[in-house]
Structure formats: C-alpha cells, structure tokens
Amino acid sequence: MIQRAIILLFRFTLRDFRNARRNRTSLRELRSRFLTLQSILLGKLSSEFKHFKAKGAHYVCRIARQMGGLRNGIWLGMADGQIYKNPREGIQFQFGISKNIADVYGIWIQGTYSARSARLKVANRLAEQRHEFFRVLRALPSDSWLRFTTKDLDGYRHIRLRDISDADVDELIQVLPQQGTYLEIGPSLTKTGSSLTRADIIALGDDLPNHIVRTFSKLLPLYRFMSREREELARPRTGRHLSTQIIHESSAWGMKMAMQFERENRRKPKDVSLTTEGYDILSRGKRGETRCIEVKSRRGGYRVTLTPHEYETAAKEANRYYLYVIRGDGSIWVVKNPARRCSFEKVRVTEFEVVDWIQKAAKHRLAHQKRFSIV
C-alpha cells in the first residue's frame, strides 16, 4: 500500500533535471526515476496500447557512452510490439528530459540508419494518403506541433499541426528518407512550438503521468496512420527485413517522387508501370514532347539493372527514354537515352525450374470459380 501511494504521488523535481547531466551516478538515479514512471504509464495506458506494453516493446535509455561521452538526458519510449522488434528502429511514443526541457515528447522517429525503413514508410504514407493525413491532424489538440530537423538545418523547424500546408507535406516527403532527419510530433505550450520547459513539467506536478497518457492516447490515431498496424516492417523470425516488402515500399516511394518531379517541371505524368510498355511513366510537356521514364529506387548501393524488355525499349525510344534513379537521400538522378550514353554489362541470372510440380502438387479450386475458355 505504501509503494502504491508513492507511485500515485510521482512528480518530477528540480533534482531530476539536475541529474540530467553527463555524470554516471546522476544518470543512474534518474534512470531509477524513469523506471518508476514507466511502471505507472504501463499501468495507466488503455487496452489500445496492449501491443506497446508487450515484452520488449518499451525501454529506458541505457546509461551508455555516446560519441565519447555520457548522454546529458534520459528517456523512455514505446513502439508497437507487433510491428517493431526494436523500438529505436521504428515509430515511437517517447518522453524524456534533458537539462531544461522535455527532450522528446510525443511521436518520435530517429534519423539513424537503422530507422530508415520507418522514415521511408511515413514518406510513402504521406505521398499516397495526403488527404487522410490532414483529416487525422484536424482531430488532434490545438497545442500539437510538428518538429523536424535534417543534416542541412541548423536546429528544428516548428510547424503547428493545424497550420501545416501541402508545401510542408511535400518537404517532409523529400527529407524523411534522408539519414539525419529526425521527426517529433507532440504538445507545446509556447507560440514557437518548442518542447515543454522544465518549469512546464514541474508545474504539472502529480498530473504528469496522466498528462503523458492523455497525450499518447490523443496521438494514437496519427500513430496508426503513420505505421499501419500489421502491414509493414514486421520482421520474420530470422530477424531480417522482408525483402519483397521493403522493395515494394521503396518502388512505390520512388514512383511518387518521380511523379512529383515531373509535375514540378510542368509536365503531365501518367503511371504506366502496370502495363508492358517497358517503362514506368509516360510524361508529356506543354509543347507535346514526351518522356518515357523508367524509375529505379535505390535506398542504398549503386547497382541499377534493366530487364531485356526495358533495354530494348530504351534503344528503340532513344532520346525519348529517360532513366530516373531515386536515391535514399531524396535526390533524383536523370539519364537521357541510357541505351546509347551508358555502358552495360550482361548479368547472369540463375533460375531453378521445378520439373515435377504436376506430380507433387495437390489440385484445388475456388468454391465459385468461373471456367475460362480460350477462343
């Protein structure tokens, strides 16, 4: 009963913020406090968070060296255990403090190499379902802000969610796949959109755990939109990414980028990737000129290959044929008439023919299958 009373009276104090410094003893004490906060949050979060609360779906930052020194803060984070084996590699709910602020508060995506699939996932989702994204944003509290930074920005950009524009979404689609892009969506009490200050957190007093639970619960629909439970980024038992799934993600994102690039250059693109044309996009300019565009998405590595049909089409279309290579940093590399301008090497592909499938297979039919006849 005494332990329960202590948990109910949990609050952050000035001592906690003083402990958010590069001192191992201080950080250990702060970590102990965060373990207490973690137990409270897991007890208060509703059943909608059951997969977050599963074993391995939450963590407290280790007291470890970073870039040759200790961290100057600590945080806890959760990611849906059905989607992400490691929360750091996915889209997280996170709360943490550093010396003077809530270092992270809300939905958080890291800019590290290991989180690249999560960033690509969100960029693809924004490109495909922009209107749904705006619909979800309208239901969020008025004090919600989006904050992001990239390798090229000096600090964070702050955008109030209710003021976010199409241009802002276009920028996010461009920068999210890049390593070094960090994204946070959460509450702010200031007009600048910055994180809660030390004074804000202390002023919340005993209500801080409830405030975090309310915030996470209100952001849950946005989290679901960004991650789409069970759909992508699940890992098989071997611990490796599902290769076909990631390839599909990358290809869809690359197509969106190429289509957007064409529109920005005042051309009208048409997706023909599901046809047998030998290219992915047919784009027309104002003067009637056309581009037959083959899109290759490469998040890592530099190998680009054409199928025999694509190569024959490139040779036939000559100057009308363009190769667009979409890199993981958002850059678009354009090659005109690659069949003539580029060097090619034939790649030997090994295939395995199944010679006795008729003898070994069990035959089935659908319950209401229509028969097809060849005329």
Q: Is residue 312 part of a domain?
A: yes
Q: Is residue 214 part of a domain?
A: yes
Q: Which of 227, 254, 277 is the last residue of a domain?
A: 227
Residues 191, 302 within the same domain: no
Percent residues over pLDDT 90 in the chain: 46
Geometric angle at alpha carbon 272, from 336 and 171, rounded to 5°: 70
Residue 22 has pLDDT above 90, yes or no: no
Question: Which is higher by pLDDT, 168 or 331?
Answer: 168
Highest mean pLDDT among 10-19, 79-88, 245-254, 363-372: 10-19
Highest mean pLDDT among 30-44, 227-241, 243-257, 340-354: 30-44
| pLDDT, tens only, 194-252 | 889 999 999 999 999 999 999 999 999 999 999 874 443 333 444 444 444 455 556 78
Q: In this structure, how many other beta carbons lie within 10 angstroms of the beta carbon of residue 329?
A: 15
Q: Which residues of 211-248 are buried (b: 16+ CB within 10 A; e: fewer)?
A: bbbebbeebbebbebbbeeeebbeeeeeeebeeeebee
Is 195 in contact with 188 (CB distance < 8 Å)? yes
Helices and strands per DSSP (H, E), number in the chain: 12, 14
Q: Which of 227, 253, 272 is the last residue of a domain?
A: 227
Q: Which of 195, 227, 259 is the last residue of a domain?
A: 227
Cα→Cα distances 111→120, 125, 175, 182, Å: 11, 17, 10, 5
Residues 34, 141 within the same domain: yes
Contacts of 137 (CB under 8 A, 6+ apart): 144, 161, 162, 164, 222
Highest mean pLDDT among 66-75, 92-101, 236-245, 362-371: 92-101
- Rounded CA-CA distance 185/331 in Å is 25
Question: Which is higher by pLDDT, 318 or 63?
Answer: 318
Residues 214, 275 within the same domain: no
- Rounded CA-CA distance 6/357 in Å is 67
Structural domain including 72 reads 2-227
What global pTM score does this model have?
0.63
Is 299 in contact with 116 (CB distance < 8 Å)? yes
- Rounded CA-CA distance 370/126 in Å is 39
| Per-residue confidence (pLDDT) for residue 3, from 0 to 100 | 45
Please identify which residue in the block is written with the tokens 């996915």: 90
Residues 102, 15 within the same domain: yes
Report the domain count for the chain. 2
For position 16, which CATH number holds?
A: 3.30.930.20
Residues 280, 197 within the same domain: no
| pLDDT, tens only, 160-203 | 998 999 899 989 988 998 889 999 999 998 888 888 999 999 99
Is 96 in contact with 76 (CB distance < 8 Å)? yes
Residues 123, 258 within the same domain: no
Residues 147, 40 within the same domain: yes
Q: Is residue 158 part of a domain?
A: yes
Listing DSSP states for 87-111 in one string gives GGGS-EEEEEE-SSBEEEEEEEE--
Q: Is residue 373 part of a domain?
A: no
Residues 191, 254 within the same domain: no
Torsion of CA 302, 307, 310, 311, to 10 degrees: 80
Q: Is residue 371 part of a domain?
A: no
For position 250, which CATH number holds?
A: 3.40.1350.10
Q: Is residue 341 part of a domain?
A: yes
Q: Is residue 27 part of a domain?
A: yes
How many residues can be counted in the chain? 375
- Rounded CA-CA distance 130/153 in Å is 24
Residues 189, 262 within the same domain: no
Q: Is residue 375 part of a domain?
A: no
Residues 292, 331 within the same domain: yes
| pLDDT, tens only, 109-158 | 999 888 888 898 898 888 888 889 999 998 898 899 999 999 888 889 99
> Helix crossing, 166-175 with 243-264: angle to 10°?
130
Residues 247, 216 within the same domain: no
Please identify which residue in the block is written with the tokens 């989006």: 146
Residues 74, 207 within the same domain: yes
122 membership: H or E segment, kind and range: helix 116-128
